[in-house]
Structure formats: C-alpha cells, structure tokens
Structure 1
Amino acid sequence: MEDNIKDSKQLISEIQSQYTRLSKGQKLIAQYILNNYDKVAFMTACKLGETVGVSESTVVRFANTLGYSGYPKLQSALQELIKNKLTTVQRVEMSDDFSDENVILNKVLRSDMDNIRDTLDGIDNEAFQDAVSKILKAKKIHILGVRTSFVVAQYLGFYLGIILDNVHVVRMDMGDAFEQIVRVGEDDVVIAFSFPRYSKKAYQLVKYAKEKGASIISITDSLFAPIASVADNTLLVNNSMASFVDSLVPAMSVANALAVSVGMKEKDDIKDYFDDLERMWEKYGVYE
C-alpha cells in the first residue's frame, strides 16, 4: 500500500484482511479503529496506545504493518475517510484537546502553518500555471463557493476584479445561483472552491457550467471531492481541521497566489488603474 490519498478508500477493508496476522496488541488497536475510526482520526499515537492499553511503539508498528511509513500517514488516511461525514456536533465533540484556552492560539496557528506547508509541498505547479493561463484567456470568469467557501470566493473575486473587468462572483444571497450563471459558455472559466462537508449546490453549479462548455478550475482538498470530478484542473489545498472551524488559510494563500500571478501579467493595466484610484481616493477623502 502506498502513502497517498487513495489509501483511505481501502483502509477499513485492509485492516479487516490483515486482522488474523496481527499481534495481540495490534488486534486491540484494529478492533478499536474499526469501532471508533472517527475518534482515532484525531488521536495521537500516544493517546491511542493509552486508550487501548498498548505502547506507543505498538501503535507505530501497527501503522507500518498496514503499509504506512508512520502513524501520521495512517491518521491522515482516517481523516480523509471521515471528514466529509462528520457533522458539526461530531467536530465539536472531537475538540477535547482545545479545552485549555492557554493552548488554543498556539494549536490553531500551528495547524494553519502545517496546512500551508502541506499545501505548498503537494500543489501541482503545472496545474497552477494552467489555471492562470485560463483566467487570462477567459471571456468571463465566474467564481463560486458555498457557505464558508464563499468567503474565499469573494476574496479572490475582489482582487481579480481590480485586475480584470470580466469577473463575476456568484452570490448565494442574491437570487438563485443558477440564474446568475445561466449564460455561462465555452469561452468562460469557473473557479470553484469546495471543502468538507462538500456542498451539493457547488457541485451542481460546476456540473452545469461544465455541460455548457466552460473550463472548470477547482480549488479543493481532495481529488475525490465532487467538484474535482468535473474539473479541467484541480489545485489541492490542505485543510485538516483543528476543531469544528475549517481552516481556510491555505485556500486564501492560493487565492493570493492566483491574484498575484494574474496581476504580474497585467501589471501595466494595474498601474494605470491604481493611479486613477489614488486620485479618486484623494479627491473624496477616502483615507485619513
């Protein structure tokens, strides 16, 4: 078995098939995971060992037996397996490690740092450059995100709107979203953000745009995400949850990178635009 995103799909069946060959201590771990994999996904190796009554090294060896290079890889596969199924209540219940207010700031910021680092290590640079090229060539750029993802969509739309004059952010609070993209065509690009729990509406909108011939750029956390299945290229963003609050920091960073990359290719127009803005701001006293 390889350490990659596909492992989570076979993880439970792999544990079951290996069970008879496991040591006594490893069988205790296997039984606990099969019955409580949603909890184990957020346990350290030490905590799991304490819970089932085995040593931390036994937990690590168990992960190795399944073909993972270490326990963190097994944990990541478990998180991938469950993250789209977790309700908000379940996320709250798994936030016991955040009960100490003295460590919350440290843990949350470090989690965001880890997510950015993992995103940087895993993102496809060729897909990123292709996305920039598609944006620059598009007749119209539609940007969408549902629920918390709308924050990132709006953020990217704001900055691309400074650079280009053909940007449209699909608003979920202004009429039906399908009505806003009904004229999408084959010369257009749709940039879609979607993270667990994946929104059906986001997938339906992207699928509709794809059927109309538009190019789809998906920014999501997994190649198994619904919108990725219909995308022309996908930018993978790590968003392992620190608690019941989703980590949108890496998605914001990728949005920044897209805006900057597009802006650098249109920098002469941007300069003229900002010159006009500065004169307007000064005339109307926008800033102190």
Structure 2
Amino acid sequence: MNTDSNDEHDRSLPSPRDRFGERFRPNLSAEGIQARVIENEVRSLTQTLEELAATGDVPRAAALILGARRRYIAGEGKAAAYAQLLNADLSATLSNVFLADGRALSPLTVLTDVRASDVLIAFSMRRYREETIRLGRLFHEAGGQLVVITDSEDAPLAGRATVLIRVHTASASYADSSTAVAAVCHLLSTLTTASSKGARRRLSMRDHYAAELAFYGPDRDQEARS
C-alpha cells in the first residue's frame, strides 16, 4: 500500500475502536505487531520531516513565535500533552509563554486582551476537539496570529491559520501516532530558541535557580570526574 492510499485508509477509521478492530487480529504475534508499528512510525516521521523541509512552514512559524509579544499554546485531550511538551521547551528560553489549559489560564482570559502581536499555537488532531476549534476561531477573529499543528490540510482550523504545520499521524496501532508531532515540537522549539537573543541568559538563570531550589540530585558525572 503506498503512502497516499495508506493515509486515505487511515482517515477512514476515525475512532480508536474502529482502528483496534481493523489492526489487531487474534493471530498476530507481538513480534509482528512490533515490526508493523516500527515500519509505520519511520514512514510517518520521514514523510512529515521531508514535507516540512520542502515547505519551510516550521521556520515561518518559529519567526512568528519569536516576534510575538505573547505566545499562547493550547490543545485538548491527547493534544494537551503536545501543548505541555512545547510549552516546557519554549518557556525555558522565551518570556511570555503561556499554556492555555483551561485551569491556570482560561480561554476567556486569553481572548479578553488579544493583540495583533499575539500568537496562539493550537494543536488540533482528529477527532478535533471543539474547545480548541472555538478558541482558535475566536483568537483569529480578535486579530491574533494562529499557528495550527494538525494532521490534515482540511482540519477545522486550517483555513484560519497564519502558518499551518501538517504532521502525519497514520499508525499501525489503535491510537494515532505521536512520533511526528513530538518531532515537530522539538524542531519548532529548537528553531525558535536558536534565534532568541535572550535564550542563553534565561537558560543560565534557570540553571542557577534550579540549583538554589534543589530541583535535581547530585551530578553523578561531575562527582565521578572530581
């Protein structure tokens, strides 16, 4: 099955229940399942990175994020984990990075004071949570910039995106693949940090205060060298 037909078949199985019944048969061995998953993850990751390298969408998104006054990150359900991952990396090197998780920071608070210099990075994967769609739509209508990381060019927020980053999530499992999404988070945070003038200072200050707050245990490598 070629990549296009594989993606098309994958999109025809919208729920984890549908994919479980399709992909896990009683006669499949653990070794067979493992081989299929590994092959599929390599293919999805390679396809995603090759396409992004050709389009330049990630550097454009990084430039938009770097130039923003405030950076908001949002995602619901499984996509909330992607939002937390990107937030952890970006907030280490940039100021004014906020996770719009509906608890510490609510959509209402975000939308109350949107400026054209603000950017929302929205993770929106099938089956496309309505909370993220509403937040992205209203943020865009309020004049903010929108970076959408999604699995389809036809996703609900795709048409409103200032920059659209498409990842391939087709999987040999009942769950859509997270491999390419995690790689894009890493790539996006790396490109943004590389151009940030204050990154080195912020990382140094974080190291200083992490030591003051005793966040981590002793450096075993350092002890071995001394």
TM superposition shift of 1:72? 4.7
Counterparts of 1:94-243 in structure 2, within 5 Å, are 94-96=22-24, 99-123=28-52, 124-172=54-102, 174=103, 177-182=106-111, 183-243=113-173
TM superposition shift of 1:155? 0.5
Name which of structure 1's ranges 90-99 and 202-211 shifts more when overlaid on structure 2. 90-99
Counterparts of 1:21-100 in structure 2, within 5 Å, are 72-80=3-11, 82-83=12-13, 86-96=14-24, 99-100=28-29
Contact 2:120 2:146 in 1 (8 A): yes
More helix by share: 1
Q: Which runs of 5+ in 1 are unaligned?
A: 1-43, 45-70
Distance verdict in 2 for CA 1:247–1:284, change over 3 Å: same
Distance verdict in 2 for CA 1:281–1:198, change over 3 Å: closer
Amino acid paired to 2:202: Y
Q: Deviations over 1:175-225 (max 9, x none)?
A: 784223222222110111111111122111100000000111111111101
Amino acid paired to 2:21: E
In structure 1, what is the Cα distance between the partners aligned to 2:117 and 2:105?
A: 23
Amino acid paired to 1:121: E
Q: Deviations over 1:155-184 (max 9, x none)?
A: 001111011111111114x17842232222
Contact 1:223 1:236 in 2 (8 A): yes
TM superposition shift of 1:235? 0.9
Amino acid paired to 1:116: L
Correspondence 1:278 to 2:207: yes
SS of aligned partner of 1:181: helix
TM superposition shift of 1:280? 2.9
In structure 2, what is the Cα distance between the partners aligned to 1:76 and 1:284?
A: 48
Contact 2:37 2:171 in 1 (8 A): no
With structure 1 as the length reference, what TM-score do the two structures score? 0.68
Amino acid paired to 2:122: A
After TM superposition, the runs of 4+ consecutive aligned structure 1 residues lying more than 4 A away are none
Correspondence 1:269 to 2:206: no
In structure 2, what is the Cα distance between the partners aligned to 1:161 and 1:221?
A: 25
TM superposition shift of 1:153? 0.8
With structure 2 as the length reference, what TM-score do the two structures score? 0.85
Percent identity over paired residues: 21
Distance verdict in 2 for CA 1:282–1:167, change over 3 Å: closer
| More relative contact order, 1 or 2 (CA 8 Å, 6+ apart) | 2
Q: Which runs of 5+ in 2 are unaligned?
A: 219-226
In structure 2, what is the Cα distance between the partners aligned to 1:139 and 1:168?
A: 11
In structure 2, what is the Cα distance between the partners aligned to 1:258 and 1:284?
A: 29
Q: Deviations over 1:227-284 (max 9, x none)?
A: 1121112011110022211211111111111111111112x52222232233333344
In structure 1, what is the Cα distance between the partners aligned to 2:124 and 2:143?
A: 20
The structure that has the greater radius of gyration is 1
Contact 1:185 1:209 in 2 (8 A): no
Contact 2:122 2:147 in 1 (8 A): yes
